[in-house]
Amino acid sequence: MAIMKVIEVLSESPTSWEDATAKGVKRASKSVKGIKSAYINEQSVVVDGKGKVTAYRVNLKITFQVN
């Protein structure tokens, strides 16, 4: 039986939610081994004073196997 653990990661990108997700998973994989999946729990954007989106943010739940 496999034991799985879930951590929460916040990530940001100036280009897209997809890029923010990829960056979050890539960064988490530097210290967490055996990542099996990532679930986008929340999405948000940062808007400047002129109404322009300047950053995309995701709140990820990353699941990995505990050995």
> Per-residue confidence of the chain (67 residues) as pLDDT tens digits?
889 999 999 999 999 999 999 999 999 999 999 999 999 999 999 999 999 999 999 999 999 999 7
Q: How many structural domains does the chain have?
A: 1
Q: List, in order, residues 6 or more apart from 25 with CB less than 8 Å away.
A: 9, 35, 38, 60, 62
Query: What are the C-alpha distances in Å from 20 to residues 24, 29, 47, 53?
Result: 6, 14, 16, 14
The β-bridge relationship of strands 3-13 and 53-66 is: antiparallel
Instruction: Supply the range of the domain harboring residue 39.
Output: 3-66
The answer to whether the CB of 38 falls within 8 A of the CB of 61 is: yes
CB–CB of 45/14 below 8 Å? no
Residue 1, pLDDT score = 84
- CATH number of the domain within which 56 lies: 3.30.1660.10
Q: What is the pTM of this model?
A: 0.87
